[in-house]
Structure 1
Amino acid sequence: MRRLRSKRLLTGLLSLTAMLYTRSVGFAETEPGQGLPTSDYPSTDPTGTFGMIFKVIFFLVLIILLFYVLVRYVAKKNKGTMFGNSIRSIGGVPLGQNKSIQIVEIGHSLFVVGVGDNIQLLDKINDADEVAYITELLISSRDDRMGFGTVSKWISKLPIRKKDIEEEVEITSTFQQVFHDKLQRVTNRNRNVEEWLSDQKQKDRLNDE
């Protein structure tokens, strides 16, 4: 249903732009107060020629902008949202036939899920900074695949206020403790992924036998 609405919206925008372009071309070819040409040779008015070129470029840019806005809108709506904005799939990594690791956002947490013959929870990420970093990384990589990475990088170079990306920690915590906790978390996460992959390989061997 959502795709049908998007297609209808795209068709309407393109039809409107084409209609405006056709009318502008008609007005340019036959200006008010002018009838049929009195000479067998077409007039070569530089002003009219430049005006036509300008109108063609203008409507071409307008069509590209409308298409860009519509694609961004459709991509934003089709991020896999379910149950409002509480659950969405933000990315995944295929590992073979019918096997992948997916990252699902539920509320303010990320869940690393192994999808194979069954669905198994591999890890849960609750750290706000890590959730924001992973989400931004996956969305930016998806935009790069869709062709919006160059525009995003160009916009990011504009002289705007830079975000503070330094991680805030409690004053009572030391750097060694924070580093150790994060290292332990990554180690446990990798161990869970390796265990899940080994289980999937064993199941594949049993199925082959």
Structure 2
Amino acid sequence: MKDTAKHQGLRNQLVSVLEQKGITDKNVLAAIKKIPRHLFLNSSFEDYAYQDKAFPIGAGQTISQPYTVAYQSQLLEVEKDHKVLEIGTGSGYQTAVLCTMGAKVYSVERQNELFKTTSLLLPKLGIRPKHLSFGDGYKGLPNFAPFDSIIVTAGAPMIPKPLMAQLKIGGRLVIPVGGENEAQIMTLLIRKSETQFEKHELGNFRFVPLLENKN
């Protein structure tokens, strides 16, 4: 579990790349500068960990490219002690970014293999989400709702209604929407009232599909 000066230098370079691509949120950039992304990857990918690329993490899933992590995190407008629901814990890297930004993170993972690995890894790195759970991301975590913001890190064919219901008024939901074999549209929903949501569509991305009732 080594994090060296070389790794820190590579992270500084990565942050410069993200700034050039339009990431301006200082909290997001500071978190990415701090978190050892190479420790969230298979050791065979260690030399590539600070490239702006996605990599496989097992169970047919990927760790998102840093730009995507930064872009989604920036859209959430996270403030200290915000309650954030994350759908798709995956490697735990996005979880770590949000925790480092000061959020209270409640995260759900559908793949048991990844859930077990990440549950062990995060505490070793000093990252302490409020709650990690193994379950169906489409259902969210109603027992802990409402949330200041919700982030979905997998592509969904539509925005799950339970997630919309678990968002605070004024809260922000960031989700890639689209079919499994097509680019998804990054979508931001801002809850304006009990019944009204403001919708923004923000460009095409590619994510693994959001899984429902697997395992």
User: Structures share a fold, TM > 0.5?
Assistant: no
Query: If each structure's strand is expressed as a fraction of its own residues, which one has the higher value?
Result: 2
Structure number with the bigger relative contact order (C-alpha 8 A, sep ≥ 6) is: 2
Using the size of structure 2 for normalisation, the TM-score is 0.20
Using the size of structure 1 for normalisation, the TM-score is 0.20
Query: If each structure's helix is expressed as a fraction of its own residues, which one has the higher value?
Result: 1
